[in-house]
Structure 1
């Protein structure tokens, strides 16, 4: 294995200069840094992580908290985070937080406090107040992505606005018999915020209000944000009394399930049923699904950049009363495809 001394001799500089050039810390001329980097690459030199950590005080590792790994949204956000961190020479440590309180306590009280990570990104995590306080007290950059927490810098789309945009697209087309597939009841888990599903349901209802459609005329069915859940919910809607002419599903995967249910029942889309989802799933174009794209890969990139920027320029201290300064809201956009059209008029 090539040593730092060999790189120094080949580049004609001191080992201290090599260290500064490779770490990016300290004064090194652009020409010398370029020569050292080229020499290290030619020799196949790889910086020792433990040695780098001792020298810089950083592990060059970011912890990522997420509830599940095998869902499309989370894996896509994670790919964006990985791309942003790897380009800066940082590794990732994943912590999948289950609902088990003992396992969660181990992550917050032991794993994250070992100082093996330099920062934390929490993806769409339902954190109670004590857990958010523990993250804020770690003394390292923390970004909450996809969910807002008063104690933490947060990056999130406006989920009410997302749902209003999706539903307004249907009402603007002339649909009046609408249904929503999502999680119907809020869960009291000790958090001080509304969950994403409940925010999207609120946006659906506000869009009905804006269109002059009574909320009581719309139907709601529970879905668990999976294709199977969306299929089951749509089957109940479409085989019941007064089936809707349009469905707003709170995720693209549930919308896929609704499209499959329509096919199973012999209903044409969009002739007899319009369907719109949320996410910007990579298969939404294949299904011809109209969706509100929230650009999850770019969300991951943005979270990585925020953490890296905070490592270079630590945020000012916050208090429980004020909380951290809010970050800019994340973008979203309606993408209209072939799953939506005006309702068929009875002759």
Structure 2
């Protein structure tokens, strides 16, 4: 009989969940433990994909991936990572996007298009209301959120509050006190969503420095370059004394940099700009950013779905680190 995951767990002296995490390359496993698990798997002749290959008959071997965009950096990167991980285990991804209107409103999630067509669901960079979450949970298949998810659901992402605090502290350390904030969706209300958490982190860090949040300096660019350019332009026209812009995404930061130059100003001599993401183009344009690994988050989320399909218990939250990357778009404020 071929060895299974229980055999590897016994040989390595760990739980089956740890074996699964170690062999799939997920974080929060000590390197010494990972090495012990891998050695046990090699000695036993265990293949980590065997758990997925031995799933009960009747599976579709397909995971649904729901996202409002496929061309924006975060969503595209997560999709890339998820598809790569799924293919490695012989699964396909069924992609669903949602058309947004001029007010960035989308159609509601329809669970019936997924029923009996997928073995699991990934929700990427999209805030769902409680009713939508309940309908997806009602499919009774593994459900994982990437980038934004309620605390009671399995979610992969970064600490958005901490990421915003890191960006704000960087500007404060340079001496900026007149900082404009370029946020995502103005209508967002879910307390666990990135737009809400990043704004809260910004406000909290200003308060810790003894500074007030000025409502007129908070604008929204809907996480896109065009929206960022328009919103930042309006902010600069109304408040020309702003010396720095914190954009809650790199794509909005790109738009902000263009809006600054549209007005004959320089980055960073006149206005500094910082973003969040680690977009592939951020190095090219010299953007200071708080970077995250979105591709790896997608791969980890797909791995969690596969773990859940085999009955492996998983935690509710997998948090990835962020890192400040300083480039030429930030500097000391003008005198």
Correspondence for 1:12? none
What displacement does 1:257 show?
A: 0.8
Aligned pairs, how many? 293
Supply the distance in 2 between the matched residues of 1:79 and 1:289 (Cα, whole angstroms): 23
Matched, 1:139 2:140: yes
Map 1:161-310 onto structure 2 (within 5 A): 161-183=162-184, 185-187=186-188, 193-216=191-214, 219-310=217-308
Correspondence for 2:326? 336
Q: Determine if contact 1:136/1:152 at 8 Å carries over to the other structure.
A: no
Correspondence for 2:67? 66
SS at match of 1:93: strand
Correspondence for 2:113? 111
RMSD (Å) for aligned C-alpha atoms = 3.2
Of residues 119-128 and 91-100 in structure 1, the stretch that sits farther from structure 2 once superposed is: 91-100
What displacement does 1:266 show?
A: 2.0
Q: Determine if contact 1:279/1:291 at 8 Å carries over to the other structure.
A: yes
SS at match of 1:328: strand
Correspondence for 1:42? none
What displacement does 1:194 show?
A: 4.2
What displacement does 1:102 show?
A: 11
Q: Determine if contact 1:133/1:151 at 8 Å carries over to the other structure.
A: no
For the pair shown, which has the larger CA radius of gyration, 1 or 2? 1
Q: Determine if contact 2:286/2:329 at 8 Å carries over to the other structure.
A: yes
Deviation by residue 1:277-306 (Cα, 9 ceiling, x = unmatched) = 011110000010001112111111111111
Supply the distance in 1 between the matched residues of 2:153 and 2:171 (Cα, whole angstroms): 35
Q: Determine if contact 2:150/2:192 at 8 Å carries over to the other structure.
A: no
Unaligned runs of 5+ in 2: 8-41, 47-52
What displacement does 1:218 show?
A: 7.0
Q: Determine if contact 2:68/2:99 at 8 Å carries over to the other structure.
A: yes
Unaligned runs of 5+ in 1: 1-16, 35-51, 317-324
Q: Determine if contact 1:181/1:250 at 8 Å carries over to the other structure.
A: yes
Supply the distance in 1 between the matched residues of 2:107 and 2:239 (Cα, whole angstroms): 45
SS at match of 1:69: coil
TM-score, normalising length from structure 2?
0.78
TM-score, normalising length from structure 1?
0.75
What displacement does 1:161 show?
A: 1.2
Supply the distance in 2 between the matched residues of 1:253 and 1:180 (Cα, whole angstroms): 14
Deviation by residue 1:214-253 (Cα, 9 ceiling, x = unmatched) = 2238712221221111111222222334431100011111
Q: Determine if contact 1:132/1:151 at 8 Å carries over to the other structure.
A: no
Supply the distance in 1 between the matched residues of 2:84 and 2:230 (Cα, whole angstroms): 36
What displacement does 1:310 show?
A: 1.5
Q: Determine if contact 2:176/2:244 at 8 Å carries over to the other structure.
A: yes
Correspondence for 2:311? 313
SS at match of 2:218: strand
Deviation by residue 1:174-209 (Cα, 9 ceiling, x = unmatched) = 101110111473346xxx544321221111111111
